[in-house]
């Protein structure tokens, strides 16, 4: 079985600390799940790969320019058959689209079929286009279906979601984030955590 990876943009400032602090307070009150300790980031591409060496070589060949995005507030991805996702909504600007497409096009050929098979055989609420993208690129949220965001948490309890939403609305979050590096993360399946194994500085 191949390993799980994702390429993402880390949130490395006081905003990240505010997210983590609010999350920890809600975990202490048993509102948020302590097993789901998301670290603040924007996912660019998530996938399974068999050959880490080839993945690292292809990733290291990529180059990107430094850019910023605007935060558009807090929103919820509603799902009929799976948990709702509370998140900070991120502007999909030209620079972010460019980096997303470049990574997908460069790394798609190296992926295995484990994650797409799991997605296609699950209870995900996929549109026809998302099914096609999952088959072609291994993931449904690709190209014009890509919706960048910073995950706060996942919920199947509306009351807990509402409490969390109200707490996060109190955060004085920045209107813009500047990204200076893109990182490759690998899942430590034993401890169920993600570890950064490589990063590229944006020029």
pTM: 0.91
Give CA angle at 86 (77, 174), nearest 5°.
115
Residues 63-85 have pLDDT tens digits of: 988 999 999 999 999 877 678 99
pLDDT bucket at 163, cuts 50 / 70 / 90: very high
Q: What is the mean pLDDT of residues 95-114?
A: 94
Could you state, in order of their start, the residue ranges of all structural domains in the chain? 3-201
Secondary-structure class of domain 3-201 per CATH: alpha beta
- Contact indicator for 81, 65 with CB cutoff of 8 Å: no
Half-sphere exposure of 117 (CA within 13 A, CB side): 6
> Distances from the Cα of 85 to the Cαs of 27, 121, 130, 166, in angstroms?
16, 20, 18, 15
Q: Region 157-169: what's the mean pLDDT?
A: 95
**Higher-scoring residue by pLDDT: 143, 184:** 184
Contacts of residue 28, Cβ cutoff 8 Å, sequence gap at least 6: none
């Amino acid at each position: 079985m191949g390993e799980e990876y994702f390429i993402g943009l880390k949130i490395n400032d006081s905003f990240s600390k505010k997210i983590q602090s609010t999350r920890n307070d809600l975990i202490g009150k048993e509102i948020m799940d302590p097993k789901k300790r998301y670290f603040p980031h924007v996912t660019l591409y998530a996938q399974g790969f068999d050959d880490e060496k080839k993945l690292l070589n292809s990733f290291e060949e990529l180059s990107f320019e430094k850019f910023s995005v605007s935060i558009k507030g807090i929103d919820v991805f509603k799902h009929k058959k799976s948990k709702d996702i509370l998140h900070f909504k991120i502007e999909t600007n030209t620079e972010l689209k460019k980096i997303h497409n470049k990574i997908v096009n460069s790394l798609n050929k190296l992926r295995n079929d484990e994650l797409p098979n799991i997605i296609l055989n699950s209870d995900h609420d996929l549109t026809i286009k998302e099914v096609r993208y999952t088959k072609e690129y291994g993931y449904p949220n690709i190209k014009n279906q890509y919706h960048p965001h910073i995950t706060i948490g996942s919920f199947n309890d509306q009351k807990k979601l509402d409490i969390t939403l109200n707490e996060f609305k109190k955060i004085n979050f920045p209107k813009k984030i500047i990204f200076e590096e893109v990182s490759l993360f690998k899942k430590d399946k034993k401890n169920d955590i993600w570890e950064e194994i490589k990063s590229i500085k944006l020029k």
